[in-house]
Amino acid sequence: MRSRALAGGVVASAAVLTLGWQIGAAQVSALNAASPVTNSAGSGSTSSGSATTAPSPSASSSSGSSSSGSSSESSSGSSSSGSSGSSGLSGSSSSASVSGTFDGATTQTQFGPVQVEIVVSSGKITDVKALQLTNDGGRSVQISNQAAPILRSEALTAQSASIQSVSGATYTSQGYMTSLQSAIDQAGL
Amino acid sequence: MTTTVESHPRATLRPPPAQQVAADAAVRRRNRRRRSAVVDLLTILVWVSAAIAVALYLASPGAHDLSGTAGIVTSLGIVAGLVATDLVLIMLVLAARVPLIDRVFGQDRAIAVHRSLGKPVLYLILVHGLLITIGYGLADGSSPIGETISLFTTVDDMPLAYLGLGLFITVVVTSLVAIRRKLPYEAWHAIHLLSYAAVAVALPHQLSVGSAFADGTWQRVYWVTLYVVVLAAVVVYRFALPILLSYRHRILVREVETIAPGVVSIHLSGRNLDRLGVEGGQYGIWRFWTAKTWWHAHPVSFSAVPGTDSARITVRDLGAGSRRLGRIRPGARVSLEGPYGLFTARARTAPYLAMVASGIGITPVRSMLEDATLRPGEATVLLRGSDADQQYLWAEVGALAHRSGSELFAMVGPRPSGVDAWQSADDFRRGVTLGSTFPHLMESDLYICGPQVWADLVARDARRAGVPEHQIHQERFES
């Protein structure tokens, strides 16, 4: 029976499609539920527009853990973040004298993790390096490679994480900004 | 009216008891139900496989990023690509000569479906490439051409993907009826085999470029499994089993006999040929290992049910390839794929049997008549030829009809010009129809074999007369 096969096929296909959509939607909401931790960290200090902000006591926190060199794999999840080489932190220093390299938190996106590292010299961000960029598939790598230089130069100009996201690289941009903000927080800028 | 070739004393053959007829009918009904259930199930499976392809994508978070035109266009492009991939794999299975498909559906119909999928799949692949390039371009702010260049140069596996696209286009375009007619079969077939290469080179970009099948996802597991299963089916049924079969039966040409102008019977010898399991009406795909013929495989019907150490096929020269078959020397090695085909008693659904054959189409009718268990008066055979030269094997069919108590009619003469009719011009004018030839047409399985255009006309008349679709059996030989 043609019609029987057709009806069966349509119904079964609709069921399969619905199931797939539900699973996908559940995963998206799981990702969204996981991300507020990093998002709030980013949005919490949006006011810090410039390097002249007074140093907060939190800057001293970075002096405690100064071990993990540059390996990005060691930082797991979005909360842990190893700041490395916090050299210029001697007692009550102002942000102007902060120097060293600071790793941002690893931010999970749909297309892979994003993590950046900033190089600070005398309270000024002199370089932003991407330790990890969205890499789920060749297309993601292509996007990352296009977006990273733009995001870097924007960050160096703005000296903050309040930068424009690159169109076509929304997820990479968001991850980049979140991790960048976390690195800036580490440096206590 | 048509002429009766031979009158035979039917009165001497006693009809079987009524309960036997009823039992046969019950078996046929059950077989038919079973076959149609399997066909329906396979059809549903095709639908579901396409749905799974899309659903697996929907199940990945990336599919839910429909922010803006770029995201939507890209997603549609991905869906087109996924469905195309699924259909390409189905096409490979349909062409792989899987026994289950041949038994319930017939390899000829499977190939017809395979062929009907070609163009839609190509369109899907083109739409896939186009939409994704536009979608990516929109996202990056680059033109489709710029995006193509950037994909080609910066993304791994994309050059291979474009090569795959080129191969698919070549394969489908050379299979378009108008172009295929101009190509020698061998050239077409060689090009068609490139589809395996096309599938192979298209695979890497599916696994590496998109995020949907990223390493470690179960989407990837599903697709890789699917590829492996399809590949296994092709390797086993298309290549390994035929080789094994040919090796086991050691088939050789014993004699080539010209039985009519341009028509040869090839007598074969071999070991345990009865174990091939050939049912009357089936065909094989034959390859004759001589210097001039080995590269051409011929689908040819058995013109007799094979015995233990002998078999016979009959070929008409329809092209340069089959013409060479007439010159094969005895002793040539033969390899066989098959037997295939549902032009057999197993496909029957009705209490009576009506067979119409024209020209070389007589071969499956001959072996089916030989193989079938028939009660007297159950079968009626109509042999059709455009001239006296086409009456080969008619005497054999006459003898078989006589033996089984079947009615036999002959109709000789060219078709009328200017009218679509399968009858000879004379009989068409006289008003001979299927209904006037076959006494129980509506309760008959109608088996039609002959040139495609002619056979389609017979089938058309049968449908117009109201013969149910499942009672019409047609073997399509053009592959």
pLDDT tens track for A117-157: 899 988 888 998 888 887 766 677 777 787 888 888 888 88
The DSSP secondary-structure symbol of B442 reads G
Across the interface, do A27 and B57 touch by the CB < 8 Å criterion? no
Q: How far is CA B171 from the centre of its chain?
A: 18
Kindly state whether residue A133 falls inside one of the protein's structural domains: yes
Across the interface, do A8 and B40 touch by the CB < 8 Å criterion? yes
Q: How far is B386 from chain A (nearest CA, A)?
A: 37
pLDDT tens track for B267-300: 999 999 999 989 999 999 999 998 888 888 888 9
Looking at residue A76, what is its pLDDT? 36
Across the interface, do A136 and B151 touch by the CB < 8 Å criterion? no
Across the interface, do A24 and B150 touch by the CB < 8 Å criterion? no
Instruction: Indicate the angle between helix axes B68-95 and B107-140, nearest 10 degrees.
Output: 160
Looking at residue B235, what is its pLDDT? 95
pLDDT tens track for A164-182: 877 767 778 888 888 999 8
- Average pLDDT on A32-61 reads 40
The residues that bridge with A112 in the sheet, in sequence order, are: A109
Q: Are B254 and B267 in contact (CB under 8 A)?
A: yes
Tokens standing for residue B440: 């129980």
Sorted by sequence, the CB contacts under 8 Å of residue A37 that are 6+ apart come out as: A78, A79
Sorted by sequence, the CB contacts under 8 Å of residue B166 that are 6+ apart come out as: none
| Residue-wise DSSP of A128-156 | EEEEE---SSHHHHHHHHHHHHHHHHHHH
- The C-alpha atoms of residue B304 and residue B269 are separated, in whole angstroms, by 13
Looking at residue A100, what is its pLDDT? 87
Looking at residue B384, what is its pLDDT? 93
| Residue-wise DSSP of B357-409 | EEGGGHHHHHHHHHH----TTSEEEEEEESSGGG-TTHHHHHHHHHHHT-EEE
Mean of all residue pLDDT scores within chain A: 69
Measured CA distances, B153 to A133, B156, B343, B381 (Å)? 20, 8, 53, 66
B140: left (phi over 0), alpha (psi -120 to 50) or beta: alpha
Nearest CB partner across the interface for B210, out of A139, A146, A168? A139
Number of domains chain A contains? 1
Tally of CB atoms within 10 A around B412: 18
Nearest CB partner across the interface for B36, out of A1, A20, A112? A1
Kindly state whether residue A5 falls inside one of the protein's structural domains: no
Torsion angle, alpha carbons of B129, B130, B135, B138, to 10: 130
Sorted by sequence, the CB contacts under 8 Å of residue A88 that are 6+ apart come out as: A97, A98, A99, A100, A122
pTM over 0.90: no
Q: How far is B212 from chain A (nearest CA, A)?
A: 8
Q: How far is A41 from chain B (nearest CA, A)?
A: 23
Backbone angles phi, psi at B408, to 5 degrees: -130, 130
Kindly state whether residue A30 falls inside one of the protein's structural domains: no
Q: How far is CA A33 from the centre of its chain?
A: 16
Q: Are B374 and B21 in contact (CB under 8 A)?
A: no
Nearest CB partner across the interface for B62, out of A12, A110, A138? A110
Backbone angles phi, psi at B373, to 5 degrees: -95, 115
Q: What is the ipTM of this complex?
A: 0.76
Q: Are B376 and B390 in contact (CB under 8 A)?
A: no
Nearest in space to A104 (alpha carbons), one of A123, A126, A132 = A132
Nearest CB partner across the interface for B40, out of A4, A28, A112? A4
- A27 in contact with chain B, both atoms CB, cutoff 8 A: yes
> Which residue does chain B place closest to A24, by CA atoms?
B59
Kindly state whether residue A82 falls inside one of the protein's structural domains: yes
- The C-alpha atoms of residue A165 and residue A76 are separated, in whole angstroms, by 25
Partners of residue A31 in chain B, C-beta under 8 Å:
61
Tokens standing for residue B124: 């899907």
**Which residue in B33, B38, B40, B154 has the most chain A C-beta atoms within 10 A of its own C-beta, making it the best mutation to test that interface?**
B40
Kindly state whether residue A2 falls inside one of the protein's structural domains: no
Structural domain of A115: 35-187
**pLDDT reading at A71 higher than 80:** no
- The C-alpha atoms of residue B234 and residue B236 are separated, in whole angstroms, by 6
Across the interface, do A31 and B36 touch by the CB < 8 Å criterion? no
Nearest CB partner across the interface for A20, out of B40, B56, B157? B56
Query: Strand B472-474 vs strand B333-340: parallel, antiparallel, or unpaired?
Result: unpaired
Please classify residue B70 by burial: count the beta carbons closer than 10 Å to its beta carbon, then call 0-12 exposed, 13-18 middle and 19+ buried. Answer: buried
Nearest in space to B73 (alpha carbons), one of B149, B155, B3, B136 = B136
Kindly state whether residue A29 falls inside one of the protein's structural domains: no
Q: How far is A183 from chain B (nearest CA, A)?
A: 27
Residues of chain B with confidence (pLDDT) below 50: 1, 4, 6-12, 479
Higher pLDDT, A91 or B379: B379
Across the interface, do B58 and A14 touch by the CB < 8 Å criterion? no
Kindly state whether residue A16 falls inside one of the protein's structural domains: no
Partners of residue B39 in chain A, C-beta under 8 Å:
5
**Which residue in A18, A27, A142 has the most chain B C-beta atoms within 10 A of its own C-beta, making it the best mutation to test that interface?**
A142
Query: What spatial distance separates the first Cα and last Cα of chain A, rounded to whole Å?
Result: 73
Backbone angles phi, psi at B334, to 5 degrees: -130, 135
- The C-alpha atoms of residue B399 and residue B371 are separated, in whole angstroms, by 13
- A169 in contact with chain B, both atoms CB, cutoff 8 A: yes
* Residues of chain B contacting A, Cβ within 8 Å: 36, 39-40, 43-44, 46-48, 50-52, 54-65, 67, 70, 136, 138-141, 150-151, 154-158, 205, 208-214
Q: Are B294 and B228 in contact (CB under 8 A)?
A: no
- Average pLDDT on A34-42 reads 43
Backbone angles phi, psi at A57, to 5 degrees: -60, -20
Nearest CB partner across the interface for A138, out of B57, B67, B156? B156
Q: How far is A77 from chain B (nearest CA, A)?
A: 18
